[in-house]
Structure 1
């Protein structure tokens, strides 16, 4: 068994600025993440200040599927970034052991690389200050890779992040996310899909502001081909990647359209159809 725990750190953005109703948005985000992982397994997901942590439940022996989880939640609205993290006890000796192990796994196969350390010492009981932690860990990496490592504090290839809280969190990867509000936190909306680019873009923007969407498409076969209908279905599936559940209503509009063509003046036809 490793002497650290793998988890995913999810950083909140706009949601963290909410007031007394903040929990409503956070709970919706957690529900949306759970929905994306529903067939992968059940995980412990909890919020602490402006962050959400996702990890294995107690007594779970299976490996934590970090990459698969990141892949599944990358299009979820409501958070700004996520990082795969190693968590271990807040002990100075353990910290140096873990960083050496982490750096070896990360850098051993590289011909050359630049790096820097960034330390946040939230736990003021930890004996070393943030600057001292970064300096000593940087020296450790240089000693471990004397011929390939070089410090670059302005534009490094890798940044190792160390956060000293009740436990220590170590990571280097920050995956940007879609931001916005969690889908379902702002009510429901109906999206009219035509098969062009405007409607799916509008759907994306609506979902990003928290609307739970359903789609509607008016099909006029044989005047509109089945290929056009399939294109709309494909677009609906893509919108569902961002909005989660997305139900598409397909309405056979041919008979109604022919009736309107017969009985509505030509200069009013478009207006009536839009009504």
Structure 2
């Protein structure tokens, strides 16, 4: 069974609420897998979520809260096994490499530096491939946790995600859908962990929002519901106007230029 190591960032800043955020991220990942008809085992560790799967997964980067993830080979926690698998990642044409290990859990007696030196020395003696710690062609990465070793080539098998907070941890907001910029405003609110309901008077297609809302069922409404604490608008300083609502007004694009908006729309594939 193949493995994916999921990493998350801002959740660490939430102190005693961290378990709430971590558990919500796990639930959102499970919802993503369910919607894509994928059977997989999902397990939470400190600073990591491990996914074991048999079927190729779609892109995980749309799940807010994830900062990066790596496709990894799960190995028994035996240094000899790790050596023999790590060397397979180096080809005859590889000009340089380094080994980067991290003990997420201290399931092995030797420390990270000793692991790096042991694996690196083995590869160098067998293949004479140059070691380059600053700019290696291949960065052989090993993470230790779950009483296993997870091996991957960091340059090639790690995907950077959007980060943010898990959708659903920051309360319900009402998005006024007026144009394409409104979709960007909605995505940015989802990235801050908010749930969304939509007032869609212009009948704008909002399927884009569903691509980032795993763990949330976005519904349209005629008016802002009682549970919503804020109204979300797509206004910037250039087109700002006074609005009369009885709730807090949030303008996530307020400081954006036209170029910024265009770049962000492209970045999120809106």
Verify same fold: TM over 0.5: yes
Query: Secondary structure of 2:62's partner?
Result: coil
RMSD (Å), alpha carbons: 2.9
Q: Which residue of structure 2 aligns with residue 154 of structure 1? A: 134
Q: Deviations over 1:170-217 (max 9, x none)?
A: 1223211111111111121111111242x1221121111111112222
Q: Larger radius of gyration, structure 1 or 2? A: 1
Q: Which residue of structure 1 aligns with residue 169 of structure 2? A: 185
Structure 1 unpaired stretches of 5+: 57-63, 220-228, 252-269
2:122 to 140, 143, 152: 140
Q: Deviations over 1:24-49 (max 9, x none)?
A: 22222112111211132232212111
Q: TM-score, normalised by structure 2?
A: 0.70
Map 1:1-275 onto structure 2 (within 5 A): 5-38=1-34, 39-56=36-53, 64-66=54-56, 68-69=57-58, 71=59, 73-101=60-88, 103=89, 107-108=90-91, 111-121=93-103, 123=106, 125-126=108-109, 128-146=110-128, 149-165=129-145, 166-172=147-153, 173-197=157-181, 199-219=182-202, 229=203, 232-233=204-205, 236-244=206-214, 245=216, 247=218, 249=220
- Cα displacement (A) at 1:143: 4.8
Q: Structure 1 or 2: larger helix share?
A: 1
Structure 2 unpaired stretches of 5+: 223-240, 247-270
Query: Secondary structure of 1:65's partner?
Result: coil
- Cα displacement (A) at 1:77: 0.6
- Cα displacement (A) at 1:144: 5.0
Distance in 2 (alpha carbons) for counterparts of 1:17 and 1:271: 35
Distance in 2 (alpha carbons) for counterparts of 1:133 and 1:52: 23
- Cα displacement (A) at 1:243: 2.1
Check the 8 A contact 2:100/2:116 in 1, yes or no: yes
Query: Secondary structure of 1:85's partner?
Result: strand
Q: TM-score, normalised by structure 1?
A: 0.69
Structure-2 change in CA distance of 1:93 and 1:274 (3 Å)? closer
Distance in 2 (alpha carbons) for counterparts of 1:124 and 1:6: 21
Distance in 1 (alpha carbons) for counterparts of 2:113 and 2:165: 36
Check the 8 A contact 1:239/1:246 in 2, yes or no: no
Distance in 2 (alpha carbons) for counterparts of 1:84 and 1:182: 21
Distance in 1 (alpha carbons) for counterparts of 2:94 and 2:167: 43
